[in-house]
Structure 1
Amino acid sequence: MNENELKNLWKSANAKITESLVLNRQHIEEITKIKAQSLISSIKPIKVFTILVGITWVISLGGYLANLWINQYTTTNKFFLFAATAQVFLTALTIGFYVYQLILLNNIDFSNTVVEIQEKIIALKTSTIHVARLCFLQLPLWTIFYWNDTMFKPEYWAWWLLQGIFTIGFTVLSIWLFFNLKYENRKAKWFLWLFCGKEWQPLVQAMEMLENINEFTKE
């Protein structure tokens, strides 16, 4: 076998190896995308259920509150009225974010590039954090809706001391969470403890899989 034949044989073998590597990478990418798609799809039922429950809650309680505002404002407990109205408003905003997330989930095309899929997942993560912030912002409202005028009497000072600590504590906690719940803190222990459910973990796992594809293709 002469030198030219050896060179041609080497080029042919090298081309086959390169082709094999490309095919392997394509197969790995396709399999990973399928796994990521399965993880992302597992979130949809939770979103749909939450939207349905949330809409039912907002319509039923919102209708009841509307009647109080229009027909019984003067005789209605103002603490309940204002706290419940604020809660319904925040819940309605939360439902809006859930609808947006469901649209994002349905618009993720796993035949697109890894980068394009990652952008959609990042948007889902950001929206999920916004929802959590709105939910925690409601905490103080649940500590004041049952207040009434008779509770302000001097003989109830011990109750007010306990209630004040309770309400102030929840207010401080909700404000702190509202400003500190952000993607930059995702590795903090308290963040991981809060975001350990089925709406967050599939996003993290899918993102890690897609990042592994990027690392593999760079090698």
Structure 2
Amino acid sequence: MDELEIKKLWQSTNDKLEKSFVIDKKNTEEITHMKVYSLLGSMKPIKFFALLVGILWVGIGGIALSSIYLNSFNEANKFFLFSASIQVGLTAISLYIYLYQLITIYQIDITEPIIRTQEKLSSLKISTLWVTRLLFLQLPVWTTFWWNETMLTDWGILQWIMTLFFTLSFTVIAIWLFFNIKYENRNKKWFQLIFSGKEWTPLMKSMELLEQVEEYKDQNAST
């Protein structure tokens, strides 16, 4: 076998390897996109349920509170009124985030570039952290909505100590969670206890799959 034949054989082998690599890369990306699409699809039912329940809660609560503010504000229990207003307001903001997440999930296309899908997953991750922070901020008002003016005159010191202890405890917990619920703490036990199930696990698995594809592409590119 002369030198020319060796060069032709080498070139033919190299072309076949490159073609095989391109096909393998394409198949890997397509399979990964399909898996990600399926994982994100499993998040839709819980998002729809949360959105539906939230709309009913905010709708009924908003109508009731509006009626109180307009018609019987002076006679209303201010503790209940302000506590319920905060709760309904935070829930309304959370509803907007859930709607945004559903739209984002439906916009993900299995044919789009991986980098574009990663951007959408990142926005889903950030919005999930934010909606959880907001929902935990409701904790203190669940301890104050039943307060009333008679407490100021009829209650003893022990009753106030116990009541304020629970309210302050829930407030501290809510504030602590608001500032500590962040992606950097994802490996901590308390974080994993909060973020488990259909609203978080599929999202993390999807991000890991895309990262693996990117690592695979980088490894092959370097070789």
State the TM bucket, normalised to the shorter chain: over 0.9
Q: Which position in structure 2 is the counterpart of 1:147? A: 147
Structure 2 length-normalised TM = 0.94
- 2:203 aligned with 1:215: no
Q: Report the AA paired with residue 191 of structure 2.
A: F
% identical equivalent positions = 48
CA deviations over 1:65-96 (Å, ceiling 9, x no partner): 11111111122111101100111111101101
Q: 1:155, CA displacement in angstroms?
A: 4.6
Question: What secondary structure, in the 3-state scheme, does the structure 1 residue paired with 2:146 have?
Answer: coil
Greater CA drift, 19-28 or 183-192:
183-192
**Distance in structure 1 (CA, Å) of the matches to 2:133 and 2:86:** 15
Q: Which position in structure 1 is the counterpart of 2:174? A: 174
Q: Which position in structure 1 is the counterpart of 2:23? A: 23
Q: Which position in structure 2 is the counterpart of 1:52? A: 52
CA deviations over 1:109-137 (Å, ceiling 9, x no partner): 22111111101000000001110011000
Q: Which position in structure 1 is the counterpart of 2:187? A: 187
Compared CA separation, residues 155 and 24, structure 1 to 2 (3 A): closer
**Distance in structure 2 (CA, Å) of the matches to 1:185 and 1:119:** 21
Q: Which position in structure 2 is the counterpart of 1:14? A: 14
**Distance in structure 1 (CA, Å) of the matches to 2:36 and 2:97:** 22
Question: What secondary structure, in the 3-state scheme, does the structure 2 residue paired with 1:208 have?
Answer: helix
Runs of 5+ in structure 2 lacking a partner? none
Q: Which position in structure 2 is the counterpart of 1:137? A: 137
Q: Which position in structure 1 is the counterpart of 2:159? A: 159
Question: What secondary structure, in the 3-state scheme, does the structure 2 residue paired with 1:111 have?
Answer: coil
Question: What secondary structure, in the 3-state scheme, does the structure 1 residue paired with 2:61 have?
Answer: helix
Compared CA separation, residues 153 and 117, structure 1 to 2 (3 A): same
Structure 1 length-normalised TM = 0.96
Greater CA drift, 47-56 or 153-162:
153-162
Matched pairs, number? 219
CA deviations over 1:153-175 (Å, ceiling 9, x no partner): 35532221111110000001101
CA deviations over 1:22-69 (Å, ceiling 9, x no partner): 211211111111001100111112111111111111111111111111
Q: Report the AA paired with residue 43 of structure 1.
A: M
- 2:83 aligned with 1:63: no
**Distance in structure 1 (CA, Å) of the matches to 2:141 and 2:191:** 23
Question: What secondary structure, in the 3-state scheme, does the structure 2 residue paired with 1:153 have?
Answer: helix
**Distance in structure 1 (CA, Å) of the matches to 2:47 and 2:214:** 29
Q: Which position in structure 2 is the counterpart of 1:72? A: 72
